[in-house]
Amino acid sequence: MKLSTPKITLFGAGVLAAASLTACGGGGTPAGAAAGSAPKLAFIQGVAGDEFYVSMQCGIESAAKAAGATVNTQGPAKFDPTLQKPIVDSVVASHPDAILVAPTDVAAMQAPLKAAAAAGIKVVLVDTTVQDPSFASSAIASDNKGGGLEAFKAIKALSPKGGKVLVISTDPGVSTADARVAGFEEGAKADSSFQYVGVQYSHNDPAEAAKLVSAALAKDPDIVGVFAANTFAAEGTATGVRQAGKQNQVKIVGFDAGPAQVKQLKEGVVQALIAQEPASIGTQGVEQAIKAIKGESTQKMIQTGFKQITADNISGDGAQYVYKSSCQ
């Protein structure tokens, strides 16, 4: 999951985008399907216009086209279950063959998605999950805990003498972010040269993240590293560090690799990024959805990898991990 306020589109724009995606996602009939009945897929993003989900969408479109399926894509304007649930309910009412969805809360999205499965719609969870995903045909996500541990390793490499480290996350209850925090915390607590001062929640608001970091640096002026567990957090963390005049002291590791984050990396605002493989999540999501529609066995859980991107590799093998802002 990647989050960045300037890149969030209005819900209406997401709906318009969905219409165009339906057109470019279809054509043909997969083997085993009745003639003229191309599988209908719906992709419900965590956030409309977010490059992480756009990159996932590109993988979904490509795989759907290859399978002869159509795709309708929608997403809320914020990573918020109160905005996502009405979209889920509307999509369920249209009764597609399968829904690929990134739940915005492990508890709040449990019942709506379980109801979709009960209605005979195949549900594939992509990126995030829910408290009990047993109703889903498949759940596909990055190794978020491993990514959090990798973020700690990045800070350790940047500050080998150790010191105090902080995490700025989104909200508790977001499965991916919670796993990243757990991975980072595990790494920090296992290394006696580092002191973990905890996690604070920015509620997906860069301004709030900046305030939290400024306050944390006032309380603990010797903090050497901050892990920003999503893009909003990274954006605000960089602002807070800059306002405190601590750019040379505090190393920032962000999660995700959209164009804005890569720009920050190249400018030295952020020292490392942990990039996911959203297109792969999307491609495998479609593959599992088609299998479920055909009544074939599916893989209940699939975990994808990540890549640490730094200034040293962004022009080399790290470049292929940068997220897309469009599928053109």
Considering only CA atoms, give the Rg of the chain: 20
Number of Cβ within 10 Å of residue 108's Cβ equals 17
Of all helices (H) and strands (E), which one includes residue 297? none
User: What are the structure tokens assigned to 19, written together?
Assistant: 């219409």
First to last CA, the chain: 21
Encode pLDDT of 89-111 as tens digits. Answer: 999 999 999 999 999 999 999 99
Whose structure tokens read 């991916």? 176
Phi, psi of 47 (to 5 degrees): -145, 130
Are 110 and 123 in contact by the 8 Å Cβ rule? The answer is no
Q: How far is CA 239 from CA 91, 215, 252, 262, in A?
A: 39, 12, 11, 16
pTM of the model: 0.82
- The pLDDT, as a whole number, for residue 30 is 39
- The pLDDT, as a whole number, for residue 204 is 85
d(CA 102, CA 27): 25
- The pLDDT, as a whole number, for residue 191 is 98
- The pLDDT, as a whole number, for residue 23 is 35
DSSP state of 122: E
d(CA 38, CA 16): 22
- The pLDDT, as a whole number, for residue 6 is 35
Of all helices (H) and strands (E), which one includes residue 196? strand 194-201
3-class state of residue 62 by DSSP: helix
Identify any residues that bridge with 254 across adjacent strands, giving them in sequence order.
228, 273
DSSP state of 295: T
Of all helices (H) and strands (E), which one includes residue 64? helix 51-67
Identify any residues that bridge with 140 across adjacent strands, giving them in sequence order.
126, 302
Q: Give the chain's residues under pLDDT 50.
A: 2-35
User: What are the structure tokens assigned to 257, written together?
Assistant: 């690799």
User: What are the structure tokens assigned to 227, written together?
Assistant: 């892990």
Calculate helix-pair angle for 259-267, 231-243, nearest 10 degrees: 30
- The pLDDT, as a whole number, for residue 34 is 46
- The pLDDT, as a whole number, for residue 235 is 86
- The pLDDT, as a whole number, for residue 36 is 52
d(CA 236, CA 234): 5
